[in-house]
Amino acid sequence: MKITGTTKLYGLFGTPVEHSMSPAMYNYCFEKWNLDCRYLAFDVPRERTEDAVKAFRTLGMKGANVTMPCKQAVIPYLDWVSPAVTLSGACNTIVNDNGTLKGYITDGEGYVMNLQTHGMDIQGKKITLLGAGGAATAIQVQALLDGASAIWVFNKKDAFWDFAQKKIRELQEAFPNQEIRLYDLEDSRLLKAKIQDSDVLTNATRVGMAPLENSSLIQDMSLFRESLLVTDCVYNPRKTRLLKDAEKNGSRTADGLGMLLYQGAAAVKLYTGQDMPVDEIREEFFKSR
């Protein structure tokens, strides 16, 4: 497709972005649907976030994805944000609605949609979540919004612990009829008990990606069972040590690439109202991963 005087601009804000697959994914959709749109990646450090949003307005951009380190910094410069953004404190998608900049977070939606494609309706389900960082927070928020009955978060008592406690308390106040608790990852007996009572086990830490690709936070193979869906937010490698162990010991699994693709699909839906061809995108751009 040719770029014309009416071509609409979409983009990615954050740094580093040179290796991002977002331009390829979104431009593939625009071309498939014959839309007069183009998507570019813009390297934006955190301290230039306000400038990027001003440029967004000035250029009349139609939408943008936001990656680290700008996910939190972008929020004050938007006109409206979704409840999920307010609860999570992060935004990864901006939509220009006739001059009103609206902020959304689709990471949690990608997680829930990935579960659904593996036969898991999250409503009423119990989740053990390893990690309490940005991805984990987005998962917590969306899972609670979609009706999960309990989320048990396990994190190391490190420098991040106090922040995690604060966020969990905020979510407890926002969702008084659902259970969300934070526990010490080193408490192996409690971790075992919660996994045994869970429908879903999810790793939202960096364990499993290089240089920890041969590591897993779960060492007790007896915790895996047929009724447990084990998922990972790590998507490179596709099959982490956690997922390999889970499959070998009888659990169903869902890899992190699914979450990545479906969060992109949720953004595409916001931009165009159309459903991203997830299977085509997976085959076209991620077959070798």
Q: Return all residues near 131 (Cβ < 8 A) that are at least 6 apart.
A: 153, 154, 155, 203, 204, 205, 233
Q: Is 67 annotated as a binding residue?
A: yes
pLDDT at 288: 63
Q: Is 14 annotated as a binding residue?
A: no
Is 62 one of the annotated active-site residues of the chain?
A: no
Q: Is 21 annotated as a binding residue?
A: yes
Q: Is 259 annotated as a binding residue?
A: no
Does this model's pTM top 0.75? My answer is: yes
Q: Is 188 annotated as a binding residue?
A: no
pLDDT at 209: 87
pLDDT (tens, 9 = 90+) of the chain, 289 residues, equals 689 999 999 999 999 999 899 999 999 999 999 999 999 999 999 999 999 999 999 999 999 999 999 999 999 999 999 999 999 999 999 999 999 999 999 999 999 999 999 999 999 999 999 999 889 999 999 999 999 999 999 999 988 899 899 999 999 999 999 999 999 999 999 999 999 999 999 999 999 988 998 999 999 999 999 999 999 999 888 899 999 999 999 999 999 999 999 999 999 999 999 999 999 999 988 876 5
**Class for domain 8-105+262-285, per CATH?**
alpha beta
Q: Is 149 annotated as a binding residue?
A: no
- In Å, what is the CA distance from 208 to each residue of 81, 107, 139, 211, 235? 33, 19, 18, 8, 9
Q: Is 20 annotated as a binding residue?
A: yes
DSSP strand pairing (93-97 vs 100-104): antiparallel
| Catalytic, out of 8, 32, 62, 71 | 71
Fold of 108-254: Rossmann fold (3.40.50)
Q: Is 235 annotated as a binding residue?
A: yes
- Domain spans in the chain, listed from the N-terminal domain onward: 8-105+262-285, 108-254
Among candidates 166, 108, 158, which has minimal Cα distance to 137?
108
pLDDT at 287: 76
Q: Same topology for domains 8-105+262-285 and 108-254, yes or no?
A: yes
Q: Is 177 annotated as a binding residue?
A: no
